[in-house]
Structure 1
Amino acid sequence: MHHSRRSLLQSLSCGFGYLALQGLCGRAAQGVAAATATDLSQRVSPIAARAKRVIFLCMAGGPAQMDTFDYKPQTGKKPHPGSVTEFKQRGQSGLWVSELLPETARYADELCVINGMNADTGIHAQSFLQLHTGDRLRPRPSLGSWVSYGLGTQNQNLPGFISLNTSKTSVYSSAFLPSIYSGTPIGVNGEDMGKATIANVASSHLPPDVKRQQVDLIQSMNREHLAHRPGDAELDSVIQSMELGYRMQSEAPGLLDLGNESQATLDSYGIGREKESVGTCKRSDFGRQCLLARRFAEAGVRFIEVCHGSWDQHKNHRRDLKANCEATDQPIAALLGDLRQRGLLDDTLVVWGGEFGRPGLTPGDGKDETDHNYRGFTFWLAGGGVKRGYVHGKTDPTGTQAVDGKVHFRDLHATILHLMGLPPNDLTFWHAGRNHRLTGPEGGKVVHELFA
């Protein structure tokens, strides 16, 4: 089957051609990056790496630390029974974990809990941006984009960075980094994850050999254009993205198909329980995200973000917190167990947390309301070379403020990059007349106390 140059150009409006043009138009507004490195080839870590990949379990909205991992028995003097979240010491480490997370508690000896987290603001949008990019006011490359920029991908048929159940573009934006380092979003704003796909990758409008001809034609024009614009990293990045999109057709659709997973695995993640909902979250949706994260990690994707929201509980705090814990507890435990069973946990860094935490309920007032707390909250890490069954830092007796072992977002970013074999304060990109880095002008402190 032969197609003329004209007919190939006309077919750009569908299938892969649409994907390529969409990427070009979408990135034009971001400006031109000032570097020439625009490929995803696997790179050697500049320093010794403990982790090869990251799975970030983002609990958007601010999980209440004193109802999950930060045990404060002295704050529990309530006038009516059943109003206090019970904690128990779990595993050989004796880690305190809430009754709301019984499945995660079975993996207490894998967790490295940071109870001294702190940020700069209690405003959701700003703190969420700071969590992902290091900056709370301006668009900047996300953590996943920096990891992809520094290390490339282990699988040239897949992106270096994937974002599941994406809620905001800040989660996966590469900003001024070349667009090849943007995250690939799968599922947007609560989309049914059972139907979520990578847009415009799988198509049957042309046979494979003609698709290749189509891409080759487009690329020849792009390269001719690039020859007249030497050093245009953004155009070069579009060319690389187009090649990646073509290669993804062979592997990405299969990874989204869970048909080759055993029934026991599907059950462990809670997949197949579509009719059961907890709050606003289908039980199976978050489980599907966690299983997809394991599949993408196993296939060589460097950074996978799994988003769950919203933990923004003000009124009806206990009810809504319980619902979110029920929706996420089993899938997270299944992910940790699955990674461990497959020998992936040792070099996969799992990160759990949100943009801030919440203060405790006021003793004796009988109210079921909470607000925002950015001065002291909890994250946990697992695998990837961190200590097991360990607690770092603490908040004051009321859980209001971090008072020991403080870890700011920029320190968390520095620690993650270091675990991945990237020097956090030296990983920079030249833009707008100066070098930029994830850890900002202040730089981040690597928290070596977390390392095994």
Structure 2
Amino acid sequence: MFASRRQLLQSTSCGFGYLALQSLQQRSASAATDTADFVPARAKRVIFLCMSGGPAQMDTFDYKPQTTNKKHPGSGFAFQKHGESGIQVSELMPETAKHVDRLCVINGMHADTGNHAQSFLQMHTGEKLRKRPSMGSWITYGLGTENENLPAFISLNAAKPSVYSSEFLPTAFAGTPIGTNGEDMSKAVIQNVKSDHLPLAAKRQQVDFLQSLNRQHLVGRKDDARLEGVIESMELAFRMQASAPELLDLSNESAATLERYRVGKKLSVGTCRPTDFGRQCLLARRFAEAGVRFIELNHGGWDQHTNHRRDLKANCETVDAPIAALLDDLATRGLLDDTLVVWGGEFGRPGLVPEGKDQTGHNYRGFTYWLAGGGVKGGYVHGKTNDTGSQAVEGKVHFRDLHATILHLLGLKHESLDYFHDGRTHRLTGPEGGKVVHDLFA
């Protein structure tokens, strides 16, 4: 299967734009290859809410009662049961808690390392040491785009290129970054798209001339997928000039909508810095409506070693209402059924240190993710950590398993989503593979 897939990629990379415009699924179908590589899709797109730094699971979605044992003080905030499912959610997430019957909470997550850089890389690419294509790139490589006038993969407020890099996959499957970590998202734009120096017809002639030169350049380099991806990105950039700026413009949204998403609001605790996460969530809804396949939102600052209570409260206040507004709008507009929303970070945190100090560390042996929409069970908790919240003990889900499950929900078999590079076959789930967690499916 690997050889035939490699031959398929090589045979289809000859024509200008063909590799970039067609997904692996489309190319496989046109080449009459094994349809067993695919499964019925439950979701069409993904919105990944990336909370970098390590959200404290015991203070958000994994309740641990406080005891007199000072070595393990339990959850540092009050919890309450919500919804018909009765799932316990922290007082820090009151708006998200209203949607708890839509959430599929995974309390048995675990990873390989407690180092931020390595675990963050593994969360995105499946490997913790070497640069590899990101999950968004693998998904767009497998499924292609729903809207040829927009990127299939958009990354908002990303801190590192690893979040949106396609690495050895063709460049056409790389994410389009909008904003950088800490940037005012109201001023963020897609670089090098807007241009008013020529009329549209003249710009079309200009692009056509440049692309004719590019095609001549490609003739002697028929197997250069990276070059072909760059050529296709130029074509996409031209098409984006009409649609992309309009999607970034929130001026046509009502004041009530901006308020629900907390666009432009400041924090009432912590550092009182302006937040841009509400704008990210509102943009994610607009991108999902427009047919963007994979949308990643980034919110940093969850690495609270000191001032844990204050800073965790600030972070939760920043993301809580916007996430609730996003879930509500997706459901109201009929998008949640085929949009998979994923929330989590590179690992979690243990409880507060003994003696009541407001300090925490890293915990990669047991932490929480949640999913919503996209064919997963709502109002469901999968797995559990031990009594101290330090280790996953039931229903354990590794990042490789999460990746395999996300791909399966999108109709892709993780064993078959592969790419031959540098002498061997690569997958998002790596040589170890992952297992699809069918218990999460509705």
TM-score, length of structure 2 as denominator length: 0.91
The SS at the match of 2:168 is coil
Letter in 1 for 2:125: T
The answer for the alignment partner of 2:333 in structure 1 is 342
Which of 19, 32, 49 is 1:57 aligned to? 49
Query: Are positions 1:195 and 2:187 aligned together?
Result: yes
Q: Conserved in 2, the CA contact under 8 Å of 1:55 and 1:304? A: yes
Q: Deviations over 1:197-220 (max 9, x none)?
A: 001101112221121111111111
User: Using the alignment, how far apart are the partners of 1:110 and 1:117 within structure 2?
Assistant: 19
Q: Conserved in 2, the CA contact under 8 Å of 1:118 and 1:376? A: yes
Q: Deviations over 1:137-190 (max 9, x none)?
A: 000000000000000010000011000001000000000000100000000121
Letter in 1 for 2:432: E
User: Using the alignment, how far apart are the partners of 2:347 and 2:203 within structure 1?
Assistant: 47
The SS at the match of 1:343 is coil
Cα deviation for residue 310 of structure 1 reads 1.1
Letter in 1 for 2:415: N
Letter in 2 for 1:153: T
Letter in 1 for 2:211: Q
1:350-369 matches, cutoff 5 A: 350-363=341-354, 365-369=355-359
Query: Are positions 1:298 and 2:289 aligned together?
Result: yes
User: Using the alignment, how far apart are the partners of 1:60 and 1:282 within structure 2?
Assistant: 18
In the alignment, structure 1 segments of 5+ residues that lack a partner are 1-32
Cα deviation for residue 266 of structure 1 reads 1.1
The answer for the alignment partner of 1:241 in structure 2 is 233
Which of 124, 135, 139 is 1:132 aligned to? 124
Cα deviation for residue 76 of structure 1 reads 7.4
Query: Are positions 1:325 and 2:316 aligned together?
Result: yes
In the alignment, structure 2 segments of 5+ residues that lack a partner are 1-8, 27-36
The answer for the alignment partner of 2:392 in structure 1 is 402
Q: Conserved in 1, the CA contact under 8 Å of 2:264 and 2:278? A: no
Q: 1:386 to 1:281 in 2, by over 3 A?
A: farther
The answer for the alignment partner of 1:122 in structure 2 is 114
Which of 85, 88, 92 is 2:80 aligned to? 88
The SS at the match of 2:20 is coil
Query: Are positions 1:164 and 2:145 aligned together?
Result: no
Root-mean-square deviation (Å):
2.0
Q: Conserved in 2, the CA contact under 8 Å of 1:69 and 1:378? A: yes
The answer for the alignment partner of 2:31 in structure 1 is none
Cα deviation for residue 84 of structure 1 reads 3.1
Letter in 1 for 2:428: L
The answer for the alignment partner of 1:16 in structure 2 is none
The answer for the alignment partner of 2:439 in structure 1 is 449
User: Using the alignment, how far apart are the partners of 1:91 and 1:72 within structure 2?
Assistant: 19
The answer for the alignment partner of 1:313 in structure 2 is 304
Q: Conserved in 2, the CA contact under 8 Å of 1:40 and 1:148? A: no
User: Using the alignment, how far apart are the partners of 1:392 and 1:448 within structure 2?
Assistant: 11
User: Using the alignment, how far apart are the partners of 1:264 and 1:185 within structure 2?
Assistant: 28
Q: Conserved in 2, the CA contact under 8 Å of 1:174 and 1:182? A: yes
Q: 1:372 to 1:76 in 2, by over 3 A?
A: farther
Q: Deviations over 1:227-276 (max 9, x none)?
A: 12222111111111111111011100000001121222111101243x55
Q: Deviations over 1:28-74 (max 9, x none)?
A: xxxxx978363234656932000000000000000000000001104
The SS at the match of 1:260 is coil
Q: Deviations over 1:8-30 (max 9, x none)?
A: xxxxxxxxxxxxxxxxxxxxxxx
The answer for the alignment partner of 2:63 in structure 1 is 71
User: Using the alignment, how far apart are the partners of 1:278 and 1:412 within structure 2?
Assistant: 34
Q: Which runs of 4+ in 1 moved over 2 A?
A: 33-38, 40-46, 74-79, 275-284
Q: 1:281 to 1:160 in 2, by over 3 A?
A: farther
Q: Conserved in 1, the CA contact under 8 Å of 2:247 and 2:283? A: yes
Task: Among all aligned residue pairs of Structure 1 and Structure 2, give the percentage whose two residues are the same amino acid.
Answer: 71
Q: 1:369 to 1:276 in 2, by over 3 A?
A: closer
Q: 1:108 to 1:208 in 2, by over 3 A?
A: same
Q: Deviations over 1:102-144 (max 9, x none)?
A: 0000001000000000000000000000000000000000000
Cα deviation for residue 384 of structure 1 reads 0.3
The answer for the alignment partner of 2:33 in structure 1 is none
Cα deviation for residue 395 of structure 1 reads 0.4
Query: Are positions 1:426 and 2:416 aligned together?
Result: yes
Query: Are positions 1:265 and 2:266 aligned together?
Result: no
User: Using the alignment, how far apart are the partners of 2:103 and 2:22 within structure 1?
Assistant: 32
Letter in 2 for 1:115: N
User: Using the alignment, how far apart are the partners of 1:69 and 1:390 within structure 2?
Assistant: 12
User: Using the alignment, how far apart are the partners of 2:105 and 2:126 within structure 1?
Assistant: 21
User: Using the alignment, how far apart are the partners of 2:273 and 2:329 within structure 1?
Assistant: 21
The answer for the alignment partner of 1:286 in structure 2 is 277
Letter in 2 for 1:106: K
The SS at the match of 2:251 is helix
User: Using the alignment, how far apart are the partners of 2:259 and 2:181 within structure 1?
Assistant: 25
The answer for the alignment partner of 2:402 in structure 1 is 412
Q: Conserved in 2, the CA contact under 8 Å of 1:270 and 1:283? A: no
Q: Conserved in 2, the CA contact under 8 Å of 1:76 and 1:84? A: no
Query: Are positions 1:388 and 2:378 aligned together?
Result: yes
The answer for the alignment partner of 2:177 in structure 1 is 185
User: Using the alignment, how far apart are the partners of 2:268 and 2:426 within structure 1?
Assistant: 43
